[in-house]
Structure 1
Amino acid sequence: MKAVIVDDEPVARKVIKEYLEDIAWLELAGVAENPLKADLLLSESPVDLLFLDINMPKLSGIEFLRASAGRPNQPMVIITTAYAEYALDGFELDVVDYLVKPFSFERFLRACNKARSKYGERFPAGKAAGKEDRPDHFFVKCDGSLEKVLYEELEYVEALTNYIVLHTVTRQLIVYLTLKGVLAHLPVDQFVKVHKSFIVNKARIRSIRGNVLQLGAAEIPVSQHFFEAAMQEILKDRVLKRD
């Protein structure tokens, strides 16, 4: 999904950009300081999602949304603002979510996941490609050869200083890649980032104690930065409780 940030505050743009860079399935397609520049970006190439501020010079975010109503291929919108009182206006204009600054990464990721769900509803063919059509493995270059890694056998991925380690059920592969680069090629319904240094296979989690995941003999920490969003992805109403 391609995203554009529309905000007149440099600090706010920087925070959203840093948050966005941690989400592998989002690509930053542009940054605009006001809605007029954003309108130019939208006319140049397709965009799937806008992170839109409200209080901006010349044209507010709400005014921009009203003026854009009916635009072909109108992108989804997540409002990012310091003003909570415009929430009703935003939702009346069918925004995906309304974030009040300052917001945490977990709250940001939850809003982005809502957009991803709506994107899947908008383009069901891409979603339907799913498990039957997607490959069950990938290859990585390691020690001069190409090694095959099955998704189901990959327990977790660990980031080192300049490399990553692929921990599978039978071996460890040290490869010259980045964590974000690998995450972009892993099935989003099977793998989740739980720490700046770890991606885990949800199917391989044996137990959860506090903020620690047990995968085989390994104990993987879940950082506070990712905790809420990671637990939502891992548990997804699968915790059985006595009635």
Structure 2
Amino acid sequence: MMKIRCLIVDDEILAQNILEEFIGRIDDLELIGKCNNGIEALNFLNQNEVDLVFLDIQMPLMTGTALLEALKSAPKTIFTTAYSNFALEGFELDAIDYLLKPFAFERFVKAVEKFKRLRQEPVVQPSTSSQNDKEDFLYLKENKVIIKTFLKDIIFVESAKNYVKVITKEREIVVYTTITAMMEKLNFKNFKRIHRSFIINTDFIKTFTAAYIELDEYKIPIGRNYKQEVMDEFGITL
């Protein structure tokens, strides 16, 4: 059985010890590192493969949210914090769950099980036809309904806490997954991630500036960490 490689990032030693104990109680979790702040974690994540991060928010040198924003491809994250007012910001960064200190082992297990479901459940299934074929489609699962969705109809995908919203020409489909997992499934040439919360279908681009891209009637912001990559992709300097 493959172990889930975990990293603890917290400036409080007591909080680190509690998380280490909780991780040790679950057979398929493996603690591979502990960091005291975001800077240490950034260096660790750039040198090690991590599946799941237990991340505090309020820390010296670099906050937990700043850490995730600095990473182009962040691992799955469960926030652990004493401050409930950061919950919305945490979920906007694709956090799997938000554990409010002090939390019980049972609540910890619930968050880990949510990670396992997101990791294992096949959210979309590509067709067997060529990726260049405009009739390619995905099966998207909304609640208990499987929806056949043609790639050419998807305008953009937006992160919404533990879900993503897939916006098509006809409807909005809410899928229980993260935007990072969705991008892995939407591995097609005309889909581009331009923001931590948005994937766009470049076929729908009408105009764009250094700040946003216009798709039909939608204006999608270009994230600071994605701006240079977007400009390079289209060979344009603004």
Please tell me whether Structure 1 or Structure 2 has the larger radius of gyration of its CA atoms: 1
